[in-house]
Structure formats: structure tokens, C-alpha cells
């Protein structure tokens, strides 16, 4: 186990949504390997069961439950699981998200707007609504919301996604201000394109096109994003709250 105090999560209870794939899956492994007890949620039950089995097989304490983050009840029940299984909650990562189909603003219909806002925005707000009281009860905790580079600037052809991810940053800053005096830190992370299934599904031609827009001329590795997540969750990052950290190979420096 990693004994670096910066990354020592021993005994901490960590909830992660969207844990069956991509960043969420990798983060679960990293936190579990560093001593955290895990509460994992995802709409993909088979994927969730697989990762929970893998982690449990390596002696990591883990509970997993189907959770559609667009359902307030599901989000409440995932937090209840943290309480009933492990007696509370120290870390929460509102990571579950969906990619939009490419379409112009004029082509974007209400159904697509609802889909994006329900998962990518309300999923985060429902999470916060139930995670915060449990953390406040214990006078402390850390929450990380997953936004995007599309939360910091315009994102042609994915207007609804950009709107939801911008809103995640507004909600993050608001939650940070409302809860700083209660010892709860709330930050957001804003990755540029990284090679999770959400992006690899688009094929190599799209990846090359996207990489060309990055100063490093490559897309991010999921591990590089998860390293930044671990840093923001670290028990040593005690004076950092209300931030939206870009993890983008330099894109936001343009
Ligand atoms: N990969 C990237 O390039 C990138 C860039 C910026 C932001 N993000 C954000 O990172 C987060 C994680 O994405 P990823 O790249 O790991 O993608 P991914 O597709 O690999 O994983 C997303 C996970 O979320 C789950 N999910 C989807 N809808 C859900 C719902 N309603 N309730 C619960 N779970 C649900 C999926 O089943 C999946 O397991 C998302 O919020 C995404 O918008 C990703």
C-alpha cells in the first residue's frame, strides 16, 4: 500500500458514481489500493458487479449498488448505503456522465437538453444534496465533481453538454462557499479529452483530430486525470476549495 501521507486514504469511506468504467473505475482501484472503503454506483449493473468483484477479491472493502444519478431517490440511497455499511462518508466523487451526439445548437431538441441536464447536472446536484449533510454531521469531507473543458469554454456541436458542465462549476463553487465553514471542501475537475471508453468509441481519426487541438499534441491518459482527482481528494489539500482544475495538456493556456 502507498504510505505517502499525500495519498493515504486509509479508513476513509469514498463514494464514486459512474464507477463501472473510465475515470470512475480507475479511481475506485486507486482509492481502494490506498486504504479507502468504497461505495460504488453506476447505471451499468453488470460493469459495476465486475469491478466490485475484482476489488473485493483484492481485499478492498466495497459495496456496489445500481444508481441512476438522474434519479434523486437512487442518489439518496447510494449515500444511505455509505451510512449503513460504513457509518458515514468522507469522500464523494460525482463522476457519472454521458457524452452527447454532435449537433448544432439549432438542431438540439428538448429531449437532448433534458438528457444532458438530468444526468450531467442534476446527477451532481442530487449527489451533493445527500452527501453534504452526512459530511457536515462529521464536520468534514471532500467532494469532487467532474466537469470538463466544455465547462470552461464554448464547445461547438455539444451545446447541452457544455451548458450542463458549466453549471457543474457554478454548483461546485456555490457548494464550496455554503459548506466551507462546516469543514467540507468541494472542487471540480475539468479534463480535456482522455482515452476512456467515452472517447475511444469515436475511433482513431477523431482522436487524432482532437489531439491536434492540444498543445501536447495528444489526448490524456485516464491515469493522468485520476492522478489529479487523487490530488484534489488528498487529506493534505486542506485549504483548496471551490476550484475548477483543468487537466488538459495545456489547452486552457491558449
Ligand atoms: N473522457 C473524457 O475525455 C472526458 C472529458 C471531460 C469530462 N469527462 C467526464 O468524465 C466523467 C466520466 O467519464 P468517462 O470518460 O470515464 O466515461 P465512461 O463512459 O468511461 O464512464 C462513464 C460511466 O458513467 C456511467 N453512467 C452514465 N450514465 C449514468 C447514470 N445516469 N447514472 C449512473 N451512471 C451513469 C456509465 O455507465 C459509465 O460507467 C463524465 O462526467 C464525463 O462527462 C470525460
Residue 11: is its pLDDT beyond 80? yes
- The protein residue with its alpha carbon nearest to ligand 1, atom 19, reads 198
The string of pLDDT tens digits covering residues 36-82 is 999 999 999 999 999 999 999 999 999 999 999 999 999 999 999 99
* Closest approach atom of ligand 1 to CA 149: 6
Asked if 107 and 154 count as a contact pair (C-beta separation under 8 A), the reply is: no
Segment 216-245 mean pLDDT: 98
pLDDT of residue 139: 80
By percentage, how much of the chain surpasses pLDDT 70? 99
Length of the chain: 254
Q: Which neighbouring-strand residues pair with 42? A: 66
- The protein residue with its alpha carbon nearest to ligand 1, atom 8, reads 148
Residue 130: is its pLDDT beyond 70? yes
Q: Which one, of 53, 15, 65, 51, lies nearest residue 36 by Cα?
A: 15
What's the mean per-residue pLDDT of the chain?
96
pLDDT of residue 155: 95
The string of pLDDT tens digits covering residues 155-211 is 999 999 999 999 999 999 999 999 999 999 999 999 999 999 999 998 999 999 999
Segment 102-130 mean pLDDT: 97
Residue 1: is its pLDDT beyond 90? no
pLDDT of residue 112: 96
The domain defined by 5-246 folds into: Rossmann fold (3.40.50)
Asked if 90 and 141 count as a contact pair (C-beta separation under 8 A), the reply is: yes
Asked if 141 and 183 count as a contact pair (C-beta separation under 8 A), the reply is: yes
The string of pLDDT tens digits covering residues 13-35 is 999 999 999 999 999 999 999 99
What's the gap in Å between 181 CA and the centre of ligand 1?
31
Position 2 confidence tier, pLDDT thresholds 50, 70, 90: low
Q: Which one, of 204, 184, 227, lies nearest residue 30 by Cα?
A: 227
pLDDT of residue 138: 84
Query: What are 200's three cell numbers?
Result: 475511444
Q: Which of 93, 196, 207, 252 maximizes ligand 1 atoms within 8 Å of its Cβ, making it the mutation to test the pocket?
A: 196
Question: Which residues does ligand 1 sit against, CB inside 6 Å?
Answer: 17-18, 20-24, 42-44, 47, 67-70, 95-98, 119, 146, 148, 191, 193-194, 196-199
What's the gap in Å between 12 CA and the centre of ligand 1?
23
Q: Which of 124, 155, 198, 211 maximizes ligand 1 atoms within 8 Å of its Cβ, making it the mutation to test the pocket?
A: 198
What's the gap in Å between 196 CA and the centre of ligand 1?
9
Q: Which of 97, 121, 199 maximizes ligand 1 atoms within 8 Å of its Cβ, making it the mutation to test the pocket?
A: 97
What's the gap in Å between 22 CA and the centre of ligand 1?
7
Segment 106-129 mean pLDDT: 97
Cβ burial 175-197 (10 Å sphere, 16+ → b, else e): bbeebeeeebbbbbbbbbbbbbe
Gap between the Cα atoms of 243 and 177, Å rounded: 11
Residues labelled catalytic: 161
- The protein residue with its alpha carbon nearest to ligand 1, atom 32, reads 68
Amino acid at each position: 500500500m502507498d504510505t505517502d501521507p499525500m495519498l493515504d486514504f486509509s479508513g476513509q469511506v469514498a463514494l464514486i458514481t459512474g464507477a463501472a468504467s473510465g475515470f470512475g473505475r480507475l479511481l475506485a482501484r486507486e482509492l481502494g489500493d490506498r486504504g479507502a472503503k468504497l461505495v460504488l454506483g453506476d447505471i451499468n449493473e453488470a460493469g459495476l458487479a465486475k469491478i466490485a468483484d475484482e476489488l473485493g477479491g483484492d481485499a478492498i472493502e466495497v459495496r456496489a449498488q445500481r444508481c441512476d444519478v438522474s434519479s434523486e431517490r437512487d442518489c439518496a440511497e447510494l449515500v444511505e448505503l455509505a451510512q449503513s455499511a460504513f457509518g458515514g462518508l468522507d469522500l464523494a466523487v460525482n463522476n457519472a456522465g454521458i457524452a452527447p451526439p454532435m449537433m448544432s445548437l439549432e438542431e438540439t431538441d428538448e429531449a437532448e437538453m433534458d438528457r444532458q441536464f438530468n444526468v450531467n447536472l442534476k446527477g451532481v446536484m442530487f449527489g451533493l444534496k445527500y452527501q453534504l449533510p452526512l459530511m457536515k454531521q462529521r464536520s468534514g469531507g471532500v467532494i469532487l465533481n467532474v466537469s470538463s473543458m466544455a465547462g470552461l469554454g464554448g464547445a461547438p456541436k455539444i451545446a447541452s453538454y457544455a451548458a450542463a458542465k458549466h453549471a457543474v462549476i457554478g454548483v461546485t463553487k456555490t457548494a464550496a462557499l455554503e459548506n466551507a465553514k462546516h469543514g467540507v471542501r468541494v472542487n471540480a475537475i475539468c479534463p480535456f479529452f482522455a482515452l476512456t471508453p467515452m472517447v475511444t468509441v469515436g475511433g482513431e481519426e477523431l482522436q487524432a483530430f482532437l489531439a491536434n487541438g492540444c498543445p501536447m499534441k495528444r489526448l490524456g491518459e485516464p491515469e493522468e486525470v485520476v492522478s489529479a482527482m487523487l490530488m484534489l481528494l488528498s487529506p493534505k489539500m486542506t485549504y483548496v476549495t471551490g476550484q475548477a482544475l483543468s487537466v488538459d495538456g495545456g489547452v486552457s493556456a491558449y
